[in-house]
């Protein structure tokens, strides 16, 4: 099928300009002004409208089990929301590593999610420990198309990957062309503050924030950047919530660490 989008305001990562777009099937063949209309082409008049690529949400949590509950959206409702509300045509979701072997989890999870998918998608894998056995499993996962793995610095005794293991994983990731992703909070401090809040009876929702101070994210972002730089590995800091965290990432980029 041939489609001609005419006179739209095209927005790219670097510029904005008015032009036509000629599409063959799912591939853009040409961009230019006053393109000739091919025979039998579908013509869309985009004058006065913006034309831009579909977005990619690189960090989603659909159908995610966590602390005896499951995230509200699955891989159908979440995908629909991504397409219609956020204009995201690709989402990359997270597999939590459980006691199930990577291979079994991959096959079972993929079959279940593919049935629901409404947009293009990919997956990150989460790891909670790192040793020779896990390295072999990760190598298999990479062969299936997963090129990024997420680690947590919080949720002690459940999801957290300790700093020493993180350093070893960074070296492995660099050697295998994989991207490191880090959820940055100070898990030790959180555990202390949560225990103290519970002892006082401070259980209102606001105490979720108060037991997770902003400086904990900032300190941990710097620590993960430092460990990754030492290993010469690339790290992607997920869902930052503090200006201080953004400052750390900007400084790391300026120094060529990210």
Total Cβ atoms within 10 A of residue 145? 10
**Domain identity same for 106 and 12:** no
Number of domains within the chain: 2
Which stretch, 64-68, 100-104, 184-188, has highest mean pLDDT?
184-188
Query: Are 28 and 124 in the same domain?
Result: no
Residue 92 phi, psi (nearest 5): -120, 115
39 and 102 together in one domain = no
Given a contact cutoff of 8 angstroms between Cβ atoms, the answer to whether 88 and 119 are in contact is: yes
Helix residue ranges per DSSP H, 55-123: 77-84, 102-114
Give the pLDDT of residue 99. 47
Provide the b/e sequence for 168-202 (b: ≥16 CB within 10 Å): ebbebbbeeebbbbbbbbbbebbeebbeebeeeee
Q: Cα(187)–Cα(68) distance, rounded to whole angstroms?
A: 19
Looking at the fold, whether 38 and 61 belong to one and the same domain comes out as no
The residue that leads in pLDDT, 55 or 17, is 17
Residue 44 and residue 62 in one domain: no
Beta strands in the chain (DSSP E): 2-11, 16-24, 27-32, 42-45, 50-51, 55-60, 65-66, 69-70, 88-95, 120-126, 148-152, 179-183, 235-237
39 and 66 both lie in a single domain: no
Domain match, 101 and 77 both: yes
pTM above 0.75, yes or no: yes
Q: What DSSP character marks residue 212?
A: S
Same domain? For 73 and 47 the reply is no
Range of the domain at 137: 55-254
Q: What angle do CA 64, 56, 19 make, to 5 degrees?
A: 160
User: Is the CB of residue 137 less than 8 Å from the CB of residue 101?
Assistant: yes
Check: CB of residue 225 under 8 Å from CB of residue 258. Answer: yes
Q: Write out pLDDT tens, residues 150-208.
A: 999 999 988 899 999 999 999 999 998 899 999 999 999 999 999 999 999 999 999 99
CA distance 129 to 169: 9
Asked if residue 247 has pLDDT above 70, the reply is yes
Residues 198 and 245 in one domain: yes
CATH of residue 7: 2.30.40.10
* Same domain, yes or no: 194 and 226: yes
Check pLDDT > 70 for residue 100: no
One domain, residues 23 and 64: no
Q: What integer is the mean pLDDT of 121-138?
A: 86
Burial group, residue 73, by CB count within 10 angstroms (0-12, 13-18, 19+): middle
Verify that 28 and 134 share a domain, yes or no: no
Task: Report the CATH number that the domain containing residue 122 is assigned in CATH.
Answer: 3.20.20.140
- For residue 104, the tally of other CB atoms under 10 A from its CB is 10
């Amino acid at each position: 099928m041939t489609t001609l989008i005419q006179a739209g305001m095209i927005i790219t990562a670097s510029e904005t300009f008015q032009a036509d777009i000629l599409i063959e099937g799912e591939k853009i063949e040409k961009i230019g002004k006053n393109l000739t209309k091919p025979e039998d082409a579908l013509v869309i008049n985009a004058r006065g409208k913006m034309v831009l690529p579909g977005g990619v949400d690189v960090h989603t949590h659909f159908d995610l089990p966590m602390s005896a509950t499951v995230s509200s959206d699955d891989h159908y409702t979440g995908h629909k929301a991504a397409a219609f509300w956020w204009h995201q045509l690709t989402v990359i979701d997270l597999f939590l590593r459980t006691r199930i072997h990577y291979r079994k989890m991959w096959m079972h999870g993929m079959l279940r999610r593919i049935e629901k998918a409404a947009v293009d998608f990919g997956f990150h894998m989460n790891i909670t420990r790192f040793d020779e056995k896990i390295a072999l499993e990760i190598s298999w996962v990479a062969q299936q198309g997963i090129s990024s793995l997420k680690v947590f610095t919080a949720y002690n005794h459940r999801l957290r990957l300790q700093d020493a293991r993180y350093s070893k994983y960074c070296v492995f990731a660099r050697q295998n062309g994989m991207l490191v992703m880090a959820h940055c909070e100070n898990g030790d401090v959180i555990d202390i503050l949560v225990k103290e809040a519970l002892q006082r009876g401070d259980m209102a929702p606001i105490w979720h924030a108060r037991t997770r101070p902003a400086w904990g994210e900032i300190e941990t972002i710097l620590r993960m950047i430092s460990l990754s730089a030492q290993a010469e590995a690339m790290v992607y800091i997920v869902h930052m919530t503090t200006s201080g965290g953004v400052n750390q990432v900007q400084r790391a980029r300026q120094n060529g660490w990210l």
